[in-house]
């Protein structure tokens, strides 16, 4: 093995720690971390056994001893650090949404391209082996022409007024919350699997919990306690969408962070002329195939199925792979790209910008209650 990549991770909350672990498992040396203050950086460096604690994300972005920067901060901070890192000639792995506006996302995408640097965005659901199997079946036309796309992404971690998080604030998370946070995953996955692009949509956003705790932001996925002081919420809990693709296929999508009992249920069903395929992230080891004469449950299996399913299925069938394994595979493929190796389906800054173009169309449509075109925001 050649010289390991040198990585720095900015943001050391839950997801930052996942990046540290995945970077190491992919063979990188994690040379430093930055948290929200120099003190917190020191604490994180110590607990993660990382040599250097940066005073700020910008310091990390400019450290000449770093090859790749992982950005795991609240969304509103992505732009500045990613821009600085690219300007400093570093590859970037940036959490999604890539930015809080399509404009910023395109700036970053164009900058990475001009600098010939790799920029990736962890749309990690692409790395579930059975998602790859679904894609192989659509791309090889086993499903036949698609007649209907259905999807939902449901969670319950914000189902009570006492549940809050920086994502609830427009200033920290951006104007869209539920859709940008999890709807973006669903749309990315559907476009990638089907090879079709959404061209227009009508969206309705809703905020049934109009007031939430005014307490300082809480840790994601932690249940809330008593609520005393509240403030108005300006980001959506729920989004309902109807979309059309460039091939005319109709799609119906539902996004919610207030659906009791749904922990992290990304679900889709693609109904084709010959077969349907259905995937449920809460049972990620299987893929449901519907045909008129019966249903088949395919299980992840390194000795069966499509090439990409096999590539990502490193455990024998029945030995569950998990979310962490997807994350690792994404980081491994990101690093492979940095080394010049290409693997199918790596989500790049271009995909991150694409995602923002859908987020902005959702916001526009929600404001006007009209069908709206999805535009890529380019001026040419």
Contacting a copy of itself within 63-82 (CB under 8 A) = none
The residue among 43 and 269 lying less far from a copy of itself, judged by its C-beta, is 269
Reference 24, options 47, 48, 59, 43; nearest CA is: 48
User: Among residue numbers 240 through 259, which ones bind a copy of itself (CB under 8 A)?
Assistant: 240-242, 249-252, 254, 256, 258-259
Among 55, 211, 214, 223, binds a copy of itself (CB under 8 A): 223
| C-alpha torsion sign, points 119, 122, 125, 129 | positive
CB of 228 to a copy of itself, least distance (A): 19
With respect to a copy of itself, which residue has the nearer C-beta, 320 or 367? 320
How far is the C-alpha of 114 from the C-alpha of 116, rounded, in Å?
5
Helix, strand, or coil (residue 8): strand
80 or 206: whose CB is closer to a copy of itself? Answer: 206
Does 55 bind a copy of itself (CB under 8 A)? Our answer is no
The answer to the question of residue 142 lying near a copy of itself (CB under 8 A) is no
User: How far, in Å, CA of 20 to CA of 22, rounded?
Assistant: 6
Query: Which residues between 156 and 175 bind a copy of itself (CB under 8 A)?
Result: 156-157, 159-160
Q: Does 269 bind a copy of itself (CB under 8 A)?
A: yes
Q: Which residues contact 294 (CB under 8 A, 6 or more apart)?
A: none
Candidate list 87, 89, 263, 375; residue touching a copy of itself; CB under 8 A: 263
- DSSP conformation letters of 332-375: HHHHHHHTT---TT--BHHHHHHHHHHHHHHHHHHHHTS-EE--
Is position 307 an interface residue for a copy of itself (rule: CB under 8 A)?
no
Q: Which of 101, 139, 288, 310 binds a copy of itself (CB under 8 A)?
A: 288
Query: Cα(345)–Cα(353) distance, rounded to whole angstroms?
Result: 16
Contacting a copy of itself within 337-366 (CB under 8 A): none
Coil/strand/helix, residue 108? helix
Is 148 a binding residue for a copy of itself by CB under 8 A? The answer is yes
How far is the CA of 79 from the CAs of 9, 104, 269, in angstroms? 15, 7, 34
Count of residues engaged in binding a copy of itself, rule: CB under 8 A? 87
């Amino acid at each position: 093995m050649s010289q390991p990549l040198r990585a720095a991770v900015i943001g050391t909350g839950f997801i930052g720690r996942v990046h540290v672990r995945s970077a190491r498992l992919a063979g990188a040396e994690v040379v430093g971390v930055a948290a929200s203050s120099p003190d917190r950086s020191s604490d994180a460096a110590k607990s993660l056994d990382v040599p250097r604690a940066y005073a700020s994300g910008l310091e990390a972005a400019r450290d000449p001893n770093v090859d790749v920067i992982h950005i795991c901060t609240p969304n509103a901070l992505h732009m500045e650090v990613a821009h600085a890192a690219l300007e400093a000639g570093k590859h970037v792995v940036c959490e999604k949404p890539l930015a809080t506006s399509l404009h910023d996302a395109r700036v970053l995408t164009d900058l990475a391209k001009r600098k010939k640097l790799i920029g990736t965005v962890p749309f990690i659901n692409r790395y579930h082996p059975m998602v790859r199997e679904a894609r192989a079946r659509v791309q090889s036309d086993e499903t036949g022409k698609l007649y209907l796309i259905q999807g939902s992404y449901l969670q319950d971690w914000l189902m009570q007024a006492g549940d809050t998080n920086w994502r609830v604030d427009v200033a920290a998370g951006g104007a869209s919350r539920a859709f940008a946070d999890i709807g973006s995953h669903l749309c990315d996955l559907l476009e990638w699997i089907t090879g079709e692009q959404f061209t227009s949509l009508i969206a309705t956003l809703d905020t049934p919990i109009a007031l939430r705790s005014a307490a300082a932001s809480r840790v994601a996925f932690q249940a809330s306690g008593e609520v005393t002081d509240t403030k108005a919420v300006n980001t959506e809990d729920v989004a309902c969408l109807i979309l059309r693709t460039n091939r005319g296929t109709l799609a119906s999508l539902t996004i919610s962070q207030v659906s009791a009992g749904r922990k992290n249920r990304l679900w889709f069903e693609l109904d084709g002329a010959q077969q349907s395929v259905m995937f449920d992230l809460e049972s990620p080891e299987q893929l449901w195939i519907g045909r008129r004469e019966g249903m088949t449950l395919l299980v992840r299996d390194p000795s069966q199925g499509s090439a990409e399913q096999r590539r990502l299925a490193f455990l024998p069938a029945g030995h569950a792979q998990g979310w962490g394994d997807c994350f690792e595979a994404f980081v491994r493929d990101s690093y492979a790209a940095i080394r010049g190796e290409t693997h199918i389906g790596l989500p790049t800054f271009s995909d991150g910008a694409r995602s923002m173009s859908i987020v902005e169309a959702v916001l526009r449509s929600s404001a006007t209650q009209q069908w709206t075109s999805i535009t890529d925001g380019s001026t040419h």
